[in-house]
Structure 1
Amino acid sequence: MEEKNKDVKNETMEWIKSIATAVVIAILIKTFVFNTTYVLGNSMYPTLHEKDRLFANKISLYFGGPSRGDVIVLKAPDAPDKDYIKRVIGIEGDVVEIKDGKVYVNGSILEEEYLINDSYTHVYDESIWEVPKGHVFVLGDNREEGASKDSRYFGCISAKTIKGITGFRYFPIDNRFGKIQ
């Protein structure tokens, strides 16, 4: 009987160790490798739709950060308890200008295939931004007036506020499933 109790205790301890190890690994992956995020609102329409679920890669942030065109998850500068999803338009050293509804980076018009044809990019107070070191300039893909709180509203954002680079939509499983353009 003692032998049977000892076997049950050993098996229970093995289960506890396995579960604890799995939890630690999951926490490490979520903290340092990738996270998931959920789209609320239409600021990234037509690229992303409300209720889309995305993976956000954190590893790239340790090796140089986001590039122009990347879709990122960032801490909302105007609401620290929220996250925003935006597209990187300018990186440090770039000059971003919005003129006649078009976006220019370093004097050249930005080709934005992800926008709806004839989208007009509105400006609020400023129309030219120089992106400082350690910052990026971001815009939502929905350029209708008031549709996106982005760098036109709160200026360039610190790269330290970026929580991940999205690149894959895992839900819904339909014709938009997969890599984000």
Structure 2
Amino acid sequence: MTRSPHGLRLGRLLGVPIYLPLAGPALLLVVTASYAILLTRLIPRAAPAAVLLAAGCFAVLLTGSLLAHDLGHVAACRSLRLPVDRVVVSPLATGSVHAEPGGPGPECLVAVAGPLVTAGLLGLAALCAARTGSGTLPHAVLVLLAAANVLLLLFHLLPGMPADGGRVARAAAWWLSGSRATGTLVAAGLGRLLAMVAALIALMIAPAAGAAGLAGVAVTAGVAGLLWTGSAGSRDTAGGVGGGGPSPDKGHAGMGGRRWAGLLLVAAGVATLVPAYVGQTYRVASGSMRDTLRPGDRVLADKVFYRARGVHRGDLIVFRRPPGLEVPERDLVKRVIGLPGDRIEGRDGRILVNGRALAEAYLQRDCGEGSGRIPAITVPAGRLYVLGDNRCQSSDSRSFGPVDTHRVEGRAVLVVWPPSRAGTLS
């Protein structure tokens, strides 16, 4: 490892030198510490040493994901015989310095290579998470890694400069007009339009966001600022670009600072925008799930990995209100007691599943034995028998019958608000 003006030289990949900025080790520590705090809330029973190790692994995997994205661009450049000077990598961003492609086709190829690599990493992280036991540190790290790649992919698919999608838009306009400068101006204009839309969204959601959503508002506003400044920079350089010839040593070099800023927003937004991109948050409006959930709690429902895992007895699920049920909430949270084919019965204050008493440590105990009286029923195929943990104050399958699995929105896995109650659900 040698030191240079670009940072610490780590070696070469694809024939290109890879550098770690001098602040890189400090950034690794910052990311590790930040995500150790998040993982502690997600997996409160994990040992501190294990949490630190998992957070460190996440920081390294995040850095590797960002490096892989840029190596996709590098591989495309190498296939086109475009010189690549270097790649600088850190836990918050990467940037490659390479020559400008000489035509719209090569421009498009270089632009899409990075997002294609990110999409592959997203699929791999999601597959590994689906095969890892929920409620564990490896599962949490993989979910966060998948979320990071979702955000990175979404950012770079935006059809405006300085995102990779903006470079695709530039290639298309370049091809139609025959002018690189025109293509750059069109992509920069799209970037400014997207910036204004993002700013408008931030202004619209800010009044109703509340404390839990202010971080999301801040990230949305930050993306708007990034798009605006990035597109402005592209417009400023458009006048000096020729009519389609190569422009050495431009490429991602001009995007370096903006890419660092953009990916800093991505890294900062992972922890706060996981509910928006991996699942959805729901507000608990009633006391039907006391004391597991309380009125005013906000829970995160996993909408991705639970489908691969399947619904298990004891899961907390969020589902759309059954037809004919007159309650104000559109979505309900209940616990799965019976799966398709199970025979459910309640007597003597206990729930019997296929003739065996169900252990229910979570149950609200001051309801009395009458809350457990349920006539014997066999759960039909494609349905789930659900009950509230607070049996004496719950509208559930005792009144509206087994729930159609098509009405299930996801599996509630976390309490995300208020902070004093944040943690995993079981």
Q: TM-score, normalised by structure 1?
A: 0.78
Residues 79 and 58 of structure 1: is their aligned pair in 2 closer, same or farther, counting only changes over 3 Å? farther
Q: Is the contact made by 1:123 and 1:152 (CA closer than 8 Å) also made in structure 2?
A: no
Q: Distance in 2 between matches of 1:134 and 1:180?
A: 24
2:375 is aligned to 127
CA contact (8 A) 1:92 1:132 kept: yes
Unaligned runs of at least 5 residues, structure 2: 1-182, 199-222, 224-273
Unaligned runs of 5+ in 1: 1-5, 23-28
Q: Which runs of 4+ in 1 moved over 6 A?
A: 6-9, 29-32
* Aligned pair partner of 1:163 in 402, 406, 409: 409
Partner of 2:193: 16
Distance 2:276 2:400 in 1: 27
Q: Deviations over 1:89-115 (max 9, x none)?
A: 010111110011210111110001111
User: Which residue in 2 is equivalent to 1:54?
Assistant: 299
**Mapping 1:1-181, distance limit 5 Å:** 11-17=188-194, 33-63=278-308, 65-77=310-322, 78-79=325-326, 82-117=330-365, 119=367, 120=369, 122=371, 127-144=375-392, 147-174=393-420, 176-181=421-426
Contact 1:60 1:165 in 2 (8 A): no
**How many Å separate the matches in 2 of 1:14 and 1:159?**
42
Query: Residues 136 and 157 of structure 1 are in contact (CA less than 8 Å); yes or no, is this contact kept in structure 2?
Result: yes
Give a deviation string over 1:47-93, Cα, whole Å, max 9, x none.
Answer: 00000001111113532531101101111112597111100001011
Q: Distance in 1 between matches of 2:187 and 2:284?
A: 45
Q: What SS does the aligned partner of 2:193 have?
A: helix
Q: Any conservation in 2 of the 1:98–1:128 contact (CA below 8 Å)?
A: yes
Checking the alignment, whether the CA contact within 8 Å between 1:60 and 1:66 is kept in structure 2 is no
Which range moves more in the overlay, 70-79 or 83-92? 70-79
Residue pair 1:102, 1:121 contacting (<8 A) in 2 also: no
* SS of alignment partner, residue 63 of structure 1: helix
- Confirm or deny: 8 A CA contact 1:54 1:170 kept in the other structure: yes
SS at the partner of 1:160? helix
Distance 2:309 2:424 in 1: 21
Per residue, is there more strand in 1 or in 2?
A: 1
List per-residue Cα deviations over 1:103-154 (Å, max 9, x = no partner).
0111110001111346535267x5111011111000000012xx11100011
Name which one, 1 or 2, has greater alpha-carbon Rg: 2
How far the C-alpha of 1:177 sits from its partner, in A, is 1.1
- Check the 8 A contact 1:103/1:121 in 2, yes or no: no
Contact 1:95/1:105 (8 A) holds in 2: yes
Distance in 1 separating the partners of 2:184 and 2:305: 46
Per the normalisation by structure 2, the TM-score is 0.35
Identity %: 35
Partner of 1:68, secondary structure, is coil
Query: Distance between the aligned counterparts of 2:412 and 2:348, measured in 1?
Result: 30
Distance in 1, Cα, partners of 2:423 & 2:192: 36
2:350–2:372 CA contact under 8 A, matched in 1: no
Pick closer, same or farther for the CA change 1:148–1:116 going to 2, 3 Å: closer
Deviation at 1:13, TM superposition (A): 2.3
Q: Which residue identity does 2:404 align to in structure 1?
A: S
Superposition RMSD on alpha carbons, in Å?
3.0
- Preserved contact between residue 169 and residue 178 of structure 1 (Cα < 8 Å): yes
